[in-house]
Amino acid sequence: MPRTAVSTAAAVRSGQVRAADILEEHLARIGSREAEIHAFNLVTDDAARTRAADIDRRVAAGEDPGPLAGVSIALKDNLCTRGVPTTCSSRILEGWRPPYDATVVERLAAAGAVFVGKTNLDEFAMGSSTENSAFGPTRNPLDTSRVPGGSSGGSAAAVAADFATIAIGSDTGGSIRQPAALCGVVGVKPTYGAVSRYGLIAFASSLDQIGPFTHTVEDAALLMEVIGGHDVRDSTSIPQPAMALRPELGKGVEGLRVGRITDLPAGADPGVMERLEAAFATLEARGAQIVDVQVPAFTYGLTAYYLVAPAEASSNLARYDGVRFGMRVDAADTNAMYSATRSAGFGDEVKRRIMIGTYALSAGYFDAYYGKALKIRRLIANDFAAAYAKADVLLTPTSPTVAFEFGSKGDNPLAMYLCDTYTIPTNLVGHPAMSVPFGTAEFGLPVGVQILAPALGEPVMFRTAAALEEAAK
């Protein structure tokens, strides 16, 4: 079992191990497998060594570097890091160096983390396999013929391969939870507004959230405590401090109402559904009450999402015009330059979603498409409210399948979009959800069980996750 963040930080803070030695272990693994996996767009080894040495100096001087002292962490390459290339895995931002740090990056640095690099992703976080990166795909460390999921595939792969103890990703429609499931690690999408989005390069602003990848539920709780809490620079940030989640982990699930969704869309592999049923049985054996609920949102959430998200993307990505930053392709006049820059800079999936979104927002179609999707979004919130009146948490598969082979869905965008059937609805309503590894299915590959909770329901969500994790061991 790889080192955990909790144990690593405790050992570094007590002087039992050096942050520099922990870092070299990770850099050695990166050196041996990164060419095969391609988890990173950039490995910041020199800066990491400087940072680790500073952590060790502070410990030797009797200082406390923080709750993540010496813990190696990988950052998804859509989080702004001052002076470090941040590309969103897109040619249009290749070489751009932000002049500031994202709030999450600031908080991780203040907690003593050591940044080892920027991880690969589907371009602008648009995808479910990390095959859409302009810099090549990331491979699943458990089987390199298969995808790691997406869009945060590089972050999930970095943790699964033990290139870093922990990682940060972003989740717009499942982009933390789905790769966590496919790579056999823990992944958390917090309540919308619980973690600052300041410095996260936007895909769909009303859906995006930042969250952790870890090997354990306890590490995920620790990271949430570090990165959560109010930020005045994010107008959507919830005005309350970060939740204390680690004290919840030992409380068990006795008396909790766990919802089984009776109208969950079909399509998940039998092996995945077997693991879900085993999770229900495990929680029931530990004292939870299994209750049947209906959530029609899982049937129509996908269609609403693929109007709302592309519409917001078409607006957010309009800023990439070849004028202010990133790639510029010269042409005869300004409009021609815009077209040439975007044609060369954006990949096929990004162009597809921009065109869908622009169409949905256009005069004569706004009410029929985008406006109707917003009404559906309201109905989805009503569906969840009714379910949570009967249950404290809900359980679903995270992904309908285990990790699939490269190229098996790339020619069929709809098949790829269906990978997010079970994850998208919670993004539309802003609720928290997380994926916890719970056994294996086809080809011996890991299965993730998804735990969903109402807004700000992270404490009960983490209690449930800890119970499943303990049983899975």
* Tokens found for residue 77: 């390459």
What gap in Å lies between CA 413 and CA 313, rounded to an integer? Answer: 17
- The H or E element containing residue 72 is strand 72-76
Task: Say whether 390 sits in a helix, a strand or coil.
Answer: coil
Q: Name the active-site residue from 72, 90, 133, 151.
A: 151
What gap in Å lies between CA 206 and CA 53, rounded to an integer? Answer: 40
Q: Name the active-site residue from 72, 76, 237, 435.
A: 76
Closest CA to 399 of 242, 288, 272: 272
Contact 398, 450 (CB under 8 A): yes
Q: Could you tell me the CA-to-CA distances from 363 to 204, 360, 366 in Å, in that order?
A: 21, 9, 6
Q: Verify whether residue 151 is a known catalytic residue.
A: yes
Q: Verify whether residue 435 is a known catalytic residue.
A: no
Amino acid occupying residue 101: D
Amino acid occupying residue 225: E
Q: With 0-12 CB in 10 A as exposed, 13-18 as middle and 19+ as buried, what is 298?
A: buried
**Other CB atoms within 10 A of residue 89 CB:** 31
What is the sign of the dihedral through the CA atoms of 193, 195, 201 and 204? Answer: negative
Closest CA to 135 of 174, 170, 93: 93
- 5-14 and 45-60 helices, crossing angle to 10°: 50
Q: Name the active-site residue from 72, 129, 175, 314.
A: 175
**Other CB atoms within 10 A of residue 288 CB:** 23
In this structure, the chain runs to a length of: 473
- Is the bond preceding 151 in cis, omega lying within 30 degrees of 0? yes
Q: Verify whether residue 375 is a known catalytic residue.
A: no
Q: Which residues are catalytic?
A: 76, 151, 175
